[in-house]
Amino acid sequence: MADADLDKQVNTAGAWPIATGGYYSQHNSPLAQINKSNVKNVKAAWSFSTGVLNGHEGAPLVIGDMMYVHSAFPNNTYALNLNDPGKIVWQHKPKQDASTKAVMCCDVVDRGLAYGAGQIVKKQANGHLLALDAKTGKINWEVEVCDPKVGSTLTQAPFVAKDTVLMGCSGAELGVRGAVNAFDLKTGELKWRAFATGSDDSVRLAKDFNSANPHYGQFGLGTKTWEGDAWKIGGGTNWGWYAYDPKLNLFYYGSGNPAPWNETMRPGDNKWTMTIWGRDLDTGMAKWGYQKTPHDEWDFAGVNQMVLTDQPVNGKMTPLLSHIDRNGILYTLNRENGNLIVAEKVDPAVNVFKKVDLKTGTPVRDPEFATRMDHKGTNICPSAMGFHNQGVDSYDPESRTLYAGLNHICMDWEPFMLPYRAGQFFVGATLAMYPGPNGPTKKEMGQIRAFDLTTGKAKWTKWEKFAAWGGTLYTKGGLVWYATLDGYLKALDNKDGKELWNFKMPSGGIGSPMTYSFKGKQYIGSMYGVGGWPGVGLVFDLTDPSAGLGAVGAFRELQNHTQMGGGLMVFSL
């Protein structure tokens, strides 16, 4: 059953009802009141403090005359009336055990909220998923999705489509077995659960799974590609973003990295971690699955955004899915059957793979950049952070251009053996990270890069001092918006990447900007609150360069450019 209310909001140009901008996850807007000629006149309109520090990822939602804002742990939610943004209509501030924070990898972030059936759907780090009445904040239902005692927490923005809420847990770094969970939007009842590893029944493979591409692998591999019962603690969690095609009734997402990071401890392809999935929304049955990095040995958790587009392929309009993976490859597939169409490096620095074989879908590895026990890997590109991470990219359908926020970071990797203990980190590697080789001064760690999605080739690049962690927003006024780790919100010309405007926010930005229209006026909103994996050193006052899984050394200068905060800034002409 379709959610008529959500469908209406998705088709309302001035609303922002889904964290990624819409079902297709294109993170763009037809609003054009702010454009290239007048963006120089954009000023701060109002701001809101969440009262919470640490990493504020994601973006607020706007439905009608209400805005809904989230915070990092303890995952507060605020409902603001846009007629008087200084007034908090209701707030939900959960009480959670502080011990949960100790098992959250890479800061205590929150990637946002969802909306459907007159409810705000939120999650809490402690594994609870809730539906709140959008008008009053009253709890309509609450369920437990995962258990922090075994290292499983919630950071993902829930996703609503039809009468279903999709939710995935974090925790691959602690040996958590990944799954996508589907709940009834009105009652919270579990409808189905599909794991990333294990038996075909538990992974929910349809009878015709990968029938169009049997070379991707089909049945029995969720256990056979693991040694013994290693699949039970094999990771594959999905904490990233979802996309949905209402016509095909398929939703798309990525399962994450296998556990532990030390590849020697888990021989085999480790299916179905590192996989792009196309699943039926109603049943959870997988129609197809494409494993991008078999036997991942670099923590290239493939949970990043899936962007859905419709473009001509060989003269025929084709439903496509594009995905920039942490492994440094931009993939485009037919989202109906999983056919691989494009697989291009996002940057020449990518060296772990020489290429991706389009016929087999298999990456061709360069053994020099492996991470095996008898070999200390150096100058590995990308780093474990990936050349792309949790940021949400934006798509311009007129020029068929994807505007991506990238990390230009490489690493050295030294593995070690360790036992599995429930609720403790299960990594097995020491990392050193540093800027990649191609920046103008060799010190740059971030890029905003425009890609032609027809070919996968880059059009232009705008370099940044730090990783472009939060992603981009495209508005029809010809502007590409993004926030920087050192605290700027910026607007670029979409044709050439020229910087047209910037504003220094109170703290670093790791979220994705959004836009909405209210009473005939366009606004741009951006969360601020430095943190996330790049900010762990600053947030937790760490100094060992290898701490934070290597992030502390790479981002040691960040503390000289911004400090902790947490809130939202809104801009207009």
C-alpha–C-alpha distance, residues 185 and 173, integer Å: 30
Count: domains in the chain: 1
CATH at residue 37: 2.140.10.10
Q: What is the pLDDT of residue 63?
A: 98
Binding-site annotation, residues: 173, 257
| C-alpha–C-alpha distance, residues 361 and 212, integer Å | 13
User: Domain for residue 158, yes or no?
Assistant: yes
Q: Which residues contact 398 (CB under 8 A, 6 or more apart)?
A: none
- Please tell me the predicted confidence (pLDDT) of residue 86: 83
> What pLDDT score was predicted for residue 381?
98
pTM reported for the whole predicted model? 0.97
Q: Note whether residue 208 is domain-resident.
A: yes
Is residue 424, in this structure, part of any structural domain at all? no
- pLDDT, tens digit, 9 for 90 and up, residues 413-436: 999 988 888 888 888 899 999 999
Residue 364 contacts by C-beta under 8 Å, 6 or more apart in sequence? Answer: 353, 354, 355, 356, 357
Domain that holds residue 458: 4-419+429-572
Given the residues 163, 245, 296, 299, select the one marked as catalytic: 299
Q: Are 439 and 409 in contact (CB under 8 A)?
A: no
At residue 290, what is the residue type?
Y
Q: What is the pLDDT at residue 372? A: 86
Q: CA-to-CA distance for 384 and 310, rounded, in angstroms? A: 32
- Return d(Cα 355, Cα 459) in angstroms, integer: 20
Residue 331 neighbours by CB under 8 Å, 6+ apart: 276, 290, 292, 321, 322, 323, 324, 325, 340, 342, 343, 356
Measured between alpha carbons, how far is 273 from 335 in angstroms, rounded to an integer? 19
CA dihedral 367, 371, 374, 377 (to 10 degrees): 80
φ and ψ at 337, to 5 degrees? -130, -5
Query: Do residues 244 and 180 make contact, with C-beta atoms less than 8 angstroms apart?
Result: no
Binding residues for Ca(2+), by number, are: 173, 257
Contacts of 459 (CB under 8 A, 6+ apart): 401, 450, 451, 452
Torsion over CA of 484, 70, 16 and 165, rounded to 10 degrees? 120
Query: For residue 463, how many other CB atoms are within 10 A of its CB?
Result: 18
Using CA atoms, how far residue 48 sits from 78, 512, 562, in Å, is 10, 16, 18
Whether residue 299 lies in the annotated active site: yes
For 16-31, what is each residue's pLDDT tens digit? 999 999 999 999 999 9
Please give the full DSSP string across 476-498, using - where no structure is assigned: TTTEEEEE-TTSEEEEEETTT--
Q: Measured between alpha carbons, how far is 79 from 405 in angstroms, rounded to an integer?
A: 29
Q: State the CB neighbour count (10 A cutoff) for residue 84.
A: 11
Are 515 and 525 within 8 A, CB to CB? Answer: yes
Calpha distance 194→172 (Å, rounded): 16
In which residue ranges of the chain is pLDDT below 50?
Answer: none
